[in-house]
Amino acid sequence: MTDPFTPAERSAVMRRVKSKDSKAELTVRKALTRMGLRYRLHRKDLPGSPDIAFPGRRLALFVHGCFWHGHDCKRGARAPKANADYWSDKIARNRARDIRTQEALTAIGWRSATVWECELKAAELATRLEALLRPPP
């Protein structure tokens, strides 16, 4: 299947995909703020530059889009028909990078967790965040 957009139009569409301050990330940040929590954003000194970091708790949160990181939900399982080989390779690279990042954080004594885009609509988001923020046993 061919791309319905011209290369210039496709480039404009892809430029609008945010890596910071996405709707999903803002939703998680608002929930954390409502819980009265303070956090740091995009810590460049940590592996993977986590979206949200809690230095006192040594917890790094990543807010991932289901498609971009290959989540096993309906949205994440969707595969583009145009340029399918490129996209499957790209998503595989993203998943491998996510695993390396989590291992690197664990190696320096940090916990890491992923909040998926599909989980944001659930009423349990605050409960899940509270569970993540509890000190490890």
92-107 pLDDT tens trace: 999 999 999 999 999 9
Give pLDDT, residue 51.
95
pLDDT band at 5, cuts 50/70/90?
A: confident
**Number of domains forming the structure of the chain:** 1
Structure tokens at 36: 């009265």
Question: CB within 8 A of 116, min separation 6: which ones?
Answer: 64, 66, 69, 71, 73, 76
pLDDT recorded at residue 93: 95
What pLDDT is recorded for position 83?
A: 80
pLDDT of residue 1: 55
**pLDDT tens, residue by residue, 109-122:** 999 999 999 888 76
6 falls within a domain: no
Determine the structural domain holding residue 46 and report its residue range. Answer: 20-133
Which DSSP letter does residue 118 get?
G
Does a structural domain hold residue 10? no
CATH of the domain at 98: 3.40.960.10
pLDDT of residue 107: 98
Residues 6+ apart with CB under 8 A from 54: 37, 39, 40, 60, 61, 133
In a domain, 8, yes or no: no
